[in-house]
Amino acid sequence: MPRAVHLMALGVFAMVTSEFAVAGLMPQMADGLSATIPQIGYLITAFAVAMAAGGPFLTIAVLKLRPKPALMVLFAIFLVGNLLAATAPSYPIMMAARIITGIAAQAFFGVAISLAVRLTPPQSRGRAIAVVMNGLMVGTLLGLPLSTLIGEHLGWRAAFWAVSAVAALAALATMIGVPRLERAEGDGGDFRQEMRVFTKPKLWLVFATSTLIIGATFSAFSYLNPILTQVTGFSAGTVPLLLIAYGAATVVGNNIVGRLADRHTVSVQLWGLALNLIFLTGFALLAHLSIPAVVLMLGIGLVGVTMNPAMVTRVQRTGNARPLVNTVHSSFITLGVIIGSFAGGMAIDDFGLRAPLWLGAGLAALGILTLVPDLIRRSAAKPAPAPNAPAAGGGPAVDARKHMV
């Protein structure tokens, strides 16, 4: 795998760590910014909404640049936002910082995935996407606990300074290690040319599958802490260890899916959704039992967000592999995060802590339905038996090639 692909993963790791950091620093940030805990929670929502709504527009703005300069511009914008967060004197400034970093992060994901695809042969693109997405998985595994640890010992601002340092290191490594490439054919065209691909109805159905896969997963992931403590009965000190185990499961699952995504794109998503439906339903039913709850939680980690390589591969085959399509796809993924976490919270208010798990199961079932047209097309495309094939024990076979024109 080219070194530049691994460097894209480092950049993704820095940006994902910044995204998740607020979740582990809420009490300290609330004190430091004279805000309430719910207000600090809105910073997470603002980051996600900025990613979904603003990322594609920033991607359009950098389309006329070659990939390497585009990445450096996005690193610069992200660093400005993250340094603003580290030094924010008030809550409104922090909100502005989160919006800036969210927009830059989403555009970076799109450009980074497109570059990884360009640098690898077609038969290895699923693995390349998995390598880039390892930045997301490792960010989930290590980024959140490390930023929380730094915040507890050195203050919440130190956590944002640390993220800025990692992002600066990733930018320097990108400047040195990523080759100079010209724009891919079709990149940098006018707005109408770039938007033409979005007239394909099938592309929107593929986007919907990705949204539902992530929505199903995050409806559970967003509320694992209260479910594990208040329903399963684990102590608060045990939950971080369980979340690390969950993160490790996502790393394993991501690499497995990456190896299968190129040859079995739709099948991987079908099995992933089906298994996630089983794991979420089982978790909802057995959340009060510690061992089944942990096993089922790890199962969700293995087959949930780890579908990313297959999701990206399917989007690129349906649309194209250029930055704008990848960024819009990332926006739909982020929409899944928003739907899962927001609807899950509403479900808790009405039906209790198991409700997000049932919601996730429902979203997974809807995700399976979005795959049905592809499955029907695949079934119809299977070659029929050769008309001249001999019956069992029959006479000599006829060479079908003689009848081909």
Using CA of residue 216, residue 217, residue 223, residue 227, what is the dihedral sign? positive
pLDDT for residue 383: 62
3-state secondary structure 197-228: HHHCHHHHHHHHHHHHHHHHHHHHHCCHHHHH
- Does domain 1-179 correspond to CATH entry 1.20.1250.20? yes
Average pLDDT of each block of 10 consecutive residues along the chain (405 residues)? 84 86 79 83 83 86 85 94 94 94 90 84 78 80 77 88 93 87 57 79 95 93 86 86 87 90 91 97 96 96 92 90 84 88 84 93 97 87 58 43 35
Tokens found for residue 27: 């009490």
Tokens found for residue 46: 């603002």
On whether the CB atoms of residues 323 and 215 are closer than 8 A, the answer is: no
Q: Where are the alpha helices (DSSP H) in 222-322?
A: 224-226, 239-260, 265-286, 290-303, 308-318
pLDDT for residue 387: 56
Of 246, 222, 208, 248, give the one whose Cα is nearest residue 337: 222
Q: Where are the alpha helices (DSSP H) in 88-195?
A: 91-118, 125-138, 144-154, 156-177, 191-195
- Does domain 196-380 correspond to CATH entry 1.20.1250.20? yes
Q: Full-prediction pTM beyond 0.85? A: no
- The C-alpha angle 94, 160, 4, rounded to 5 degrees, equals 120
pLDDT for residue 397: 42
In terms of phi and psi (left: phi > 0; alpha: psi -120 to 50; beta: otherwise), the region of 381 is: alpha
Domain definitions of the chain by residue range: 1-179, 196-380
pLDDT for residue 399: 41
Domains 1-179 and 196-380 share a fold: yes
